[in-house]
Amino acid sequence: MERKYLFIVNKTAGSGRAGTTWPTLAEYLNQKNIDYLIYETNYPGHEYQLIQNLLKNNTVEGRTIVVVGGDGTLHQTLNGLHDAPQHEMIPLGYIPCGSGNDFARGAKIAKNPLKALKNLLQAKKVTTLDVGFYRNTLQQQADDGSFTNNIGIGFDATIVDLSNSSRLKKFLNKYHLGSLVYVIILFKAYFVQPPFPVTITTENETHSFKRAFLVTTTNHPFFGGGVSIVPTASMTDGKLDLVLIEKLPAFPFLLLFILMLLPPHLHTKFSCVKQFRAEKLTISSPTKQHIQADGEALGAHPVELSLSIEKQDFIF
Ligand SMILES: Nc1ncnc2c1ncn2[C@@H]1O[C@H](COP(=O)(O)OP(=O)(O)OP(=O)(O)O)[C@@H](O)[C@H]1O
């Protein structure tokens, strides 16, 4: 039986790349007489609401949901799916059109959107992968959700916060130059983010650190648009990988960052970089910290994050 599809398209993803790519994908779908519906997102977080409504009125029934956008679009869609009572492991497809595309790297989905679509249409089986689950219990109203890539407090979350509020980014986005501003934000975040105390607990151990700077838990090797933060992380091992980097002076931090970017990724050998691999983790800090998940801002507050693994079916 021919598969049917429901496309969630964020045309603004990748500084508009998804919008310019969609007509090519639609043309291919029409050529191949594929049965599909398309829903475009109109504002940040719209994917979440869309999915919830489409599930409620049974529009999704019998269709594979395919996300066209970046990691944030996938994140919002996955969370819309998970927060609906009847999600029942509906498989997700993903066509990478964002600026970072870390999930596509981690899951080895073709970078070229048309190639990724062709592979998806030909896929014979679903692939079950780990996704992370977080619960922040320190907030008045406990906040929870899923992440495909990573969840972080400290430096990376400050970068997300600064880039969301950056007027320069919004201006450059109009000219498809949004990613240029990331370099400026990276430098700014280094000076804005102070060191903070944090306690990490796994099934077997508890460790406290006084001067954490970046605390990121990842589901696969990549974060921040291709930075191989934990080269050995896997989306099928049922485990999460936490990396903690302590605050360093600017020059050593820059060197460490360069090591992170370049193979063989020797940053993990330094004593200021701590690693934990576990099925369950908690991260607590009494200080107010920005939190990011898959590049989406989750606000700023004291942290008591419980992390675990769930499974999600994908088609690609
Ligand atoms: N029409 C829209 N206008 C503005 N934002 C939108 C729209 N539709 C979806 N979004 C939001 O865009 C955000 C970023 O999407 P995504 O991460 O997929 O793209 P990206 O290009 O990787 O993003 P970024 O430029 O932030 O790296 C998500 O939070 C999503 O909810």
Assess if residue 20 is contained within a domain. Answer: yes
C-beta of residue 51 within 8 angstroms of C-beta of residue 84? yes
Q: Are residues 101 and 145 in the same domain?
A: no
Tokens found for residue 159: 């970068």
178 pocket-lining for ligand 1 (C-beta < 6 Å): yes
What's the gap in Å between 266 CA and the centre of ligand 1? 32
Q: Is 19 in the pocket of ligand 1 (CB under 6 A)?
A: no
Using alpha carbons, list the distances in angstroms from residue 227 to 79, 108, 149, 219, 262. 24, 15, 12, 13, 8
Last residue of a domain, one of 124, 158, 193: 124
**Ligand 1 pocket test: which of 39, 47, 73, 162 has the largest number of ligand atoms within 8 Å of its C-beta?**
73
Q: Pick the closest to residue 163 from 149, 180, 176 (CA basis).
A: 180
- Give which of 278, 315, 284, 310 is closest to 148, Cα–Cα: 310
pLDDT 10s digit of each residue in the chain, 316 long?
688 999 999 999 998 999 999 999 999 999 999 999 999 999 999 999 999 999 989 899 889 999 999 999 999 999 999 888 766 678 999 999 998 899 999 999 999 999 999 999 999 999 999 999 999 887 666 689 999 999 999 999 999 999 887 776 666 666 666 666 778 888 899 999 999 999 999 998 999 999 999 999 999 999 988 899 999 999 999 999 999 999 999 999 999 988 988 888 889 889 999 999 999 999 999 999 999 999 999 999 999 999 999 999 999 9
Q: What's the domain count of the chain?
A: 2
- Identify the CATH number of the domain in which residue 267 sits: 2.60.200.40
Same domain, 42 and 139: no
Q: Answer for the pair 18, 69: CB distance below 8 angstroms, yes or no.
A: yes
Q: CA 279, 283, 284 angle in degrees (round to 5)?
A: 155
CA distance 16 to 37: 21
Q: What is the pLDDT of residue 100?
A: 87
ipTM comes to 0.95
User: Is 316 part of any domain?
Assistant: no
Please report the pLDDT score of residue 175 as a whole number: 67
Q: Is 219 domain-assigned?
A: yes
Q: Residue 179 C-alpha to ligand 1 middle, in angstroms?
A: 13
- CA–centroid distance, 315 to ligand 1, in Å, is 22
Q: Does residue 184 lie within any of the structural domains? A: yes
Ligand 1 pocket, residue 202 CB under 6 Å? no
Q: CB neighbours (10 Å) of residue 32?
A: 12
Residue 208 lies in a domain: yes
pLDDT for residue 205:
94
Whether residue 282 is contained in a domain is answered as: yes
Does residue 72 sit in the same domain as residue 51? yes
- Please indicate, yes or no, whether residues 64 and 81 belong to a single structural domain of this protein: yes
CB of residue 166 inside a 6 A radius of ligand 1: no
Q: Please identify, among 124, 139, 155, the residue that sits at the C-terminal boundary of a domain.
A: 124
CB 169 within 8 A of CB 163: yes
148 shares its domain with 120: no
Q: Residue by residue, what is the 3-state secondary structure of the chain?
A: CCCEEEEEECCCCCCCHHHHHHHHHHHHHHHCCCCEEEEECCCCCHHHHHHHHHHHCCCCCCEEEEEEECHHHHHHHHHHHHCCCCCCCCCEEEEECCCCCHHHHHHCCCCCHHHHHHHHHHCCCCEEEEEEEEEECCCCCCEEEEECCEEEEEHHHHHHHHHHHCHHHHHHHCCCCHHHHHHHHHHHHHHHCCCEEEEEEECCCEEEEEEEEEEEEECCCEECCCEECCCCCCCCCCCEEEEEEECCCHHHHHHHHHHHHCCCCHHHHCCCEEEEEECCEEEEEEEEEEEEECCEEEEEEEEEEEEEEEEEEEEC
**CA proximity to 46, closest of 13, 93, 5, 3:** 13
The reply to whether ligand 1 has any atom less than 6 angstroms from the CB of 224 is: no
Domain limits for position 32: 4-124
Residue 168: per-residue pLDDT: 65
Is residue 111 domain-shared with residue 146, that is, in the same domain?
Answer: no
Is residue 89 assigned to a domain? yes
Same domain, 102 and 139: no
- In a domain? residue 30: yes
Best of 11, 12, 38 to mutate for ligand 1, by most ligand atoms within 8 A of CB? 12
Does 136 sit in the ligand 1 pocket, CB within 6 Å?
A: no
The pair of structure tokens assigned to 82 is 């998970």
Whether the CB of 296 sits within 6 Å of ligand 1: yes
Q: Which of 124, 147, 162 is the last residue of a domain?
A: 124
CATH number of the domain encompassing residue 36: 3.40.50.10330
80 lines ligand 1 (CB under 6 A): no
Mark whether 189 and 213 lie in a shared domain.
Answer: yes
Neighbours of 33 (CB within 10 A): 7
Is the domain of 63 the same as that of 166? no
Residues 61 and 184 in one domain: no
233 shares a domain with 152: yes
Q: What pLDDT, on the 0 to 100 scale, is given for residue 179?
A: 63
Indicate if 189 and 70 belong to the same structural domain. Answer: no
